[in-house]
């Protein structure tokens, strides 16, 4: 079957750096997405990786290793507004998006 | 980024009522999706469409139907609402190049 694993919850301190990991087993691979979702709101797109390596976008970076079925989202200079759930999703060979359950990130002052 | 709209944002109705949740996007995206999400839980795909006159069922069995008569419009209809339908319903559309999905603000449905 198809599976995406992420930690359920993580806690970090304001101003620090946090890495949220995602491992996946899917039938084929056509890209990996990270979304941010604040409580009660819709997911918003953060990043897309289709090739191995690191993609940087301001305070957020996303890394992909296709051979290991692994990605991480790196958040730097954490702010209180970064408290949210972070969803990892993989597009399989049928171009269907497989969603992880999300990682709830709690930022403490 | 897509401009995608959903109405109503909040809806409280009684059991047995028929309701339609509206979703429109102005970016000309061919692909559109409906998801159901309970608080703190993962997204479940209930319907999707590849374009006009195309509709497919997703992974979650649902007593709902969709239509796609126009590119920009993808309404979801519940023929007879039940308390188990209480949830957040999210509509999304995706761009052709990367299939990145962009979400509307959602409709929070409560069935009494």
Which of A24, A43, A51 would best serve as a mutation to test chain B binding (most B beta carbons within 10 A)?
A43
Whether residue A15 contacts residue A109, with contact meaning beta carbons closer than 8 Å, is answered with: no
Whether residue B86 contacts residue B17, with contact meaning beta carbons closer than 8 Å, is answered with: no
- d(Cα A35, Cα A73) in Å, to the nearest integer? 10
- d(Cα A2, Cα A47) in Å, to the nearest integer? 21
Whether residue B43 contacts residue B31, with contact meaning beta carbons closer than 8 Å, is answered with: no
Q: C-alpha A42: how far from its chain's center?
A: 15
Whether residue B88 contacts residue B106, with contact meaning beta carbons closer than 8 Å, is answered with: yes
Smallest Cβ–Cβ distance between A45 and the set B43, B100, B108 belongs to B100
Smallest Cβ–Cβ distance between A33 and the set B45, B90, B100 belongs to B100
Mean pLDDT to the nearest integer, B1-12: 89
Q: C-alpha B73: how far from its chain's center?
A: 10
A contact set with B (CB within 8 A) = 30-31, 33, 39-45, 48, 50, 85, 87, 91, 95, 97, 99-102, 104
Q: What average pLDDT does chain A have?
A: 96
Q: What pLDDT, in 10s, does the model give residues B28-70?
A: 999 999 999 998 888 999 999 999 999 999 987 678 999 999 9
Say whether A102 and B42 touch across the interface (CB within 8 A). yes
Residue A54 confidence (pLDDT) above 90: yes
Smallest Cβ–Cβ distance between B103 and the set A30, A40, A43 belongs to A43
- d(Cα B101, Cα A39) in Å, to the nearest integer? 19
Name chain B contacts of A50, Cβ cutoff 8 Å.
Answer: 98
Peptide bond into B8 cis (omega under 30): yes
Q: What's the full length of chain A, in residues? A: 109
């Amino acid at each position: 079957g198809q599976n995406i694993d992420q930690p359920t919850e993580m806690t970090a301190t304001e101003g620090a750096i946090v890495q949220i990991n995602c491992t996946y087993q899917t039938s084929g691979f056509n890209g990996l997405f990270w979304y941010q979702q604040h409580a009660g709101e819709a997911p918003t797109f953060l990043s897309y990786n289709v090739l191995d390596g690191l993609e940087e976008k301001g305070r957020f970076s996303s890394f992909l290793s296709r051979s290991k079925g692994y990605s991480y989202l790196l958040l730097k200079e954490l702010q209180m507004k970064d408290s949210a759930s972070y969803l990892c999703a993989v597009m399989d060979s049928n171009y269907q998006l497989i969603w992880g359950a999300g990682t709830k990130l709690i930022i403490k002052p | 980024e897509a401009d995608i709209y959903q109405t109503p944002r909040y809806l409280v109705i009684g059991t047995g009522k028929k309701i339609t949740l509206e979703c429109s996007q102005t970016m000309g995206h061919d692909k559109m999706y409906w998801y159901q999400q309970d608080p703190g839980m993962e997204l479940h795909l209930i319907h999707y469409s590849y374009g006009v006159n195309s509709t497919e069922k997703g992974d979650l069995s649902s007593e709902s139907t969709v239509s796609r008569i126009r590119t920009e419009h993808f309404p979801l209809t519940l023929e007879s609402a039940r308390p188990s339908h209480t949830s957040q319903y999210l509509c999304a559309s995706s761009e052709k190049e990367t299939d990145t999905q962009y979400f509307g603000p959602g409709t929070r449905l409560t069935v009494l």
